Amino acid sequence: MELFGSDFMSKLEYLSLVSRRVFRGSLLAQRRTMQFGSGIEFADYREYVAGDDLRYLDWNVYARHGDFLLKRFQEEQDLHVYFLLDCSRSMGFGEPAKFDLARQLTAALAYIALADLDRIAVVAFTDRIVGNFALTRGKAQILALLDFLENLEVQGTETDPAAAIREFLRRKQRNGLAVVVSDLFAPAGYEMGFDQLRHRRYEPHVIQLHDLKEANPDFLGDVELFDVENDSTRKVTVTEKNLVAYKKLFVEHQASVARYCNTYGMGCTQATTAIPFDQLILQMMRAAGAIS
């Protein structure tokens, strides 16, 4: 499949137009941070102190009550959006590959943020950080971002979000929205990594992808299973009972991710690779009430 084809940019522009304030609004449940300053939204009063700017004195209050009160306003800080993209080899599975859809989703959501003058960065990880697209701003950066994403490859020996997130959090950076795009097939689990993000006051949003064959495998009998992440093979005899047990474990894993996110108020999107990236983002917008 062509990752960023000729019609990809037109789809990005359409998605941006559909939800111009998607990162300020409800799609990823993140508001821009507010600070007191010289913005346009009134916040509060405080008493006048010698040396304060007289432009912010409320003369109407002074005329009515004789009080010298200074208006305080809120101003918006640009949002920092960090995309944590799983590049482990399990992401290479599927038709289309989970990794292809993950990169398209990352590009599209990043473009929406860039169009809204937010700052974005992409961190590629396996059991550690394996690639970085540095924090940047402006729609003009989208071509460099697409080039970065196109040159990424699946690699490593296993998925370990917690280890990669620990490395990510050691950086000196402002916190913000952390969008984790992964299948979350992590032997050591995913909860510890998300806990770290929450405790450091990032706002995590999870996009968990899987292929239909992972949810519903259809092979029986003697097979040789190959673990793409550690290159190991194992000959087994798969029975109907084995398939039933596997499907039960898969459903439980998916449910545990949704339950964790719901418990801590995190955004969560679970989808198959059968859904094109633009349709999936529109579904996310509708689910969040960003569009009707």
Which SS3 state, helix, strand or coil, does residue 28 take? coil
Q: What is the pLDDT of residue 72?
A: 64
Q: Which residues lie across from 79 on neighbouring strands?
A: none
Q: Which residues lie across from 179 on neighbouring strands?
A: 83, 205
pLDDT digits (tens, 9 = 90+) for 261-281: 999 999 999 999 999 999 999
Q: What is the pLDDT of residue 133?
A: 98
Distance between CA atoms of residues 277 and 101, nearest Å: 6
Q: Are 281 and 108 in contact (CB under 8 A)?
A: yes
pLDDT of 259 higher than 70: yes
pLDDT of 92 higher than 60: yes
248 CB contacts (<8 Å, ≥6 apart)? none
pLDDT band at residue 51 under the 50/70/90 scheme: low
pLDDT digits (tens, 9 = 90+) for 105-134: 999 999 988 887 789 999 999 999 999 999
Q: Fill in the DSSP letter of residue 10.
A: H
Q: What is the pLDDT of residue 155?
A: 94
pLDDT of 163 higher than 70: yes
Q: Fill in the DSSP letter of residue 31.
A: P
What CATH topology corresponds to 8-31+79-288? Rossmann fold (3.40.50)
Domain parsing of the chain, residue ranges: 8-31+79-288, 34-76
The model's pTM is 0.82
pLDDT: which is higher, 54 or 99: 99
